[in-house]
Structure 1
Amino acid sequence: MLKEEHEVAVLEAPHNPAPPTSTVIHIQSQDSMPDHVVWSLFNTLFMNSCCLGFIAFAYSVKSRDRKIVGDLTGTQARASTTKCLNIGALILGIIMTILLIIIPILTLQAYQ
Structure 2
Amino acid sequence: MIKEEHEVAVLGAPQSRRPLTTTVINIRSDTAVPDHIVWSLFNTIFLNWCCLGFVAFAYSVKSRDRKMVGDITGAQSYASTAKCLNIWALVLGILLTIGSIVLLIFGYMAVYQTVFLLMQEKRGH
TM-score norm. by structure 2 comes to 0.64
Structure 2 gaps, min length 5: 1-27, 114-125
Match of 1:99 in 2: 99
One-letter code aligned to 1:36: H
One-letter code aligned to 1:65: D
What is the RMSD of the two structures over their aligned residues, measured on CA atoms? 1.4
SS of alignment partner, residue 33 of structure 1? coil
- Per-residue Cα deviation, 1:76-108 (whole angstroms, up to 9, x for no partner): 100000000000111111011101210011122
- Per-residue Cα deviation, 1:4-62 (whole angstroms, up to 9, x for no partner): xxxxxxxxxxxxxxxxxxxxxxx8434x1100000000000000111100000000000
Say whether residues 1:108 and 2:113 are aligned partners: no
Equivalences for 1:67-106 in 2 at 5 Å? 67-106=67-106
TM-score norm. by structure 1 comes to 0.71
Q: Distance in 1 between matches of 2:86 and 2:50?
A: 12
Q: Distance in 2 between matches of 1:35 and 1:43?
A: 14
Match of 1:64 in 2: 64
Match of 1:48 in 2: 48
Larger Rg: 2
Q: Distance in 2 between matches of 1:51 and 1:76?
A: 22
Identity of aligned residues (%): 64
Match of 2:39 in 1: 39
One-letter code aligned to 1:81: T
One-letter code aligned to 1:84: C
**How many pairs were matched up?**
85
